[in-house]
Structure 1
Amino acid sequence: MKTILTTGSNGLLGQKLTEKVLAEGRVKLIATSRGINRYPVKEGYAYAEMDILDVAQVRAVIQKYQPGAIVHTAAMTNVDTCEANKELCNQLNVDAVQTLLSICEEKNIQLIHLSTDFVFDGADGPYREEDAVNPVSYYGESKVLAEELLKNSQANWTILRTILVYGITNDMSRSNIVLWAKSALEKASPLNVVNDQWRMPTLAEDLAEACLLAVEKNAKGIYHVSGKDYMSIADLVRKVADYWSLDPSFINEISSTSLNQTAKRPVKTGFVLDKTIKDLNYNPHSFEEGLAIMDQQMKR
């Protein structure tokens, strides 16, 4: 059984990976994150504090546990913060990847790196893996730089690009679009939602499954991982309102140009999933199925 080490284990995807490993036992898990372990169950896996910017600590943890694969979920993902603080974005999204990559090359460890639809400009989605990248934000640029590091390395690497991940954990330090929309509508708060950007939202459980499939199949190369449904952000929020029987009259559709965001967003992304379905046996849930899964988890 392979031993995998996850970075960013306190985040949404990190916690879903822990949950999945504990439920299914397909790999041995070393969960790592900055600070204390926020996952409620502490048995059945190892946890180590690891700041991905602390090169000595990263080396020491990997040396101690000798994983066969690293699933690198930690990153700076707030698009506007990345635009405003390019230096920190670069440290977290590029330099940290170089650190992991160097160690993976030395020790022959598979590196599964999470990337994003924001590597594309959104002029011509949905995208295939081989389509040309052209980011319109610094966040997207940092992810392209990281991808280039992997492509030019001697490591055994896998890039999983994903889109708009949603889900729920016990200790959400950050919200995501589904929780944000549900919470605002439950409070009957007016909600400004863009109607001119299209995405394929990804259930965190599906993304966690893709990570494990990439490890088990020793996949090499770039894979697109998202949900199967293509929709505008406004449609997404309307589906949330519809699922939980919330009043859609609080949804105010606006154009993205009126938002005045620090960073530009691609207009139409979305992925062609054929390669991932064929090579990895990836089988994502529909958006409605994803909402039903979240609903069940909220009732626990």
Structure 2
Amino acid sequence: MKKVIITGSNGLLGQTLVKLLAADKNNYTVYGFSRGENRCKENNFAYISVDLTNKHLLKKAVKQIQPDVIINTAAMTQVDVCEVEKDACYLTNVTLVKWLVDISEKNSCHLVHISTDFIFDGKKGNYKETDEPNPLSYYGFSKLKAEEIITNSSVHYTILRTILVYGLVDQMKRNNIVLWVREMLANNKEITIVNDQFRAPTYVEDLAMACKISMDKSAKGVFHISSSTLLSVYEIAQQIASVFNLDKNLIKPISSKTLNQRAIRPSKTGFDLSKTNTQLLFYPKSFKESLVAFKQKIS
């Protein structure tokens, strides 16, 4: 029986993971750490309201549990906000990770950490795990810094880099591209979408399953998790419209240059998934296939 702590258990990935692991009560005892009220209504799950940016409270809460695995899904991910609120970004995305590394070393537990395609500059696309990072934004910098802290430690770790995660859970505080496009088009609202940035969106159920597999296999190292198709953000919106039977004509393409975004985004990411396929034996589907599965789940 593995004792698993999920930090950020109230978020999209956190809730999805709680649901996945709590369903297997013969193998996992699941603990969720997050701020505020618990949003997960699962059995075989204990919730602890804790301010993750308070080192003393965090250490005390972990010490009581003595976990085998910590899955860190907590992060500040609003790219433009990170560019402005650098201290808050650093605290959550870097300092918290440093504490979790220290805790994991002391407790000899496996740390599974979520990272991002934004550690790359987007000049190449189809990135391998071994490609040279070069973040363009403070968010990307903070996530790379966290990776370096983990990889330079003695902790047993898995880093899962991912791209544009989407899905749906209870009481969601943050939107994602699929829900936003669907909502806007369903209300017959015209939307402008960039056609010169390329991504491979990730279904949250796939990312949660990758966390579980990494934990079960005790996998060590960095792995890429996303859908298997690289699309422009405009094409992503077109496919959302198509799968949900909405009006594609409401989607208007624009260039990134016309957006006044504070943070620079990489123009082309996407992942080479061959290491994930061969070592984790995990084969993410195309965006369209996952989107169809998501539609069936919510309808």
Structure 1 and Structure 2 fold alike (TM over 0.5): yes
Q: Aligned pair 1:172/2:172, yes or no?
A: yes
Q: Aligned pair 1:267/2:231, yes or no?
A: no
Query: What displacement does 1:27 show?
Result: 2.3
Q: Tell me the equivalent position of 1:192.
A: 192
Query: What displacement does 1:76 show?
Result: 0.1
Structure 1 CA distance, aligned partners of 2:24 and 2:243?
A: 29
Q: Tell me the equivalent position of 1:38.
A: 39
Query: What displacement does 1:281 show?
Result: 1.3
Q: Tell me the equivalent position of 2:129.
A: 129
Structure 1 CA distance, aligned partners of 2:131 and 2:70?
A: 26
Flag the 1:286–1:23 CA change in 2: closer, same or farther, 3 A: farther
Query: What displacement does 1:292 show?
Result: 2.2
Structure 2 CA distance, aligned partners of 1:134 and 1:288?
A: 30
Please tell me the residue identity of whatever aligns with 1:168.
Answer: L
Structure 2 CA distance, aligned partners of 1:213 and 1:249?
A: 40
Task: State the identity as a percent.
Answer: 44
Query: What displacement does 1:295 show?
Result: 1.8
Structure 1 CA distance, aligned partners of 2:46 and 2:196?
A: 44
Count of residue pairs the alignment pairs up: 298
Query: What displacement does 1:83 show?
Result: 0.3
Q: Tell me the equivalent position of 2:281.
A: 281
Please tell me the residue identity of whatever aligns with 1:40.
Answer: K
SS in 1 for 2:39: coil
Please tell me the residue identity of whatever aligns with 1:29.
Answer: V
Q: Which moved more, 1:58-67 or 1:281-290?
A: 281-290
Give the conservation status (yes or no) of the 8 Å contact 1:168–1:297: no
TM-score, normalized by length of structure 2?
Answer: 0.97
Please tell me the residue identity of whatever aligns with 1:213.
Answer: I
Deviation readout 1:175-228 (Å, 9 max, x if unpaired): 100000000001111101000011111000000000011111111111111111
Q: Tell me the equivalent position of 1:27.
A: 28
The Cα RMSD (Å) is 1.1
Query: What displacement does 1:286 show?
Result: 2.5
- Gaps (5+ residues) in structure 2? none
Give the alignment of 1:115-126 within 5 angstroms. 115-126=115-126
Q: Tell me the equivalent position of 2:232.
A: 232
Q: Tell me the equivalent position of 2:150.
A: 150
Deviation readout 1:211-267 (Å, 9 max, x if unpaired): 011111111111111111111100000001111111111111000110010100000
Give the conservation status (yes or no) of the 8 Å contact 1:203–1:285: no
Structure 2 CA distance, aligned partners of 1:117 and 1:155?
A: 23
Query: What displacement does 1:32 show?
Result: 1.3
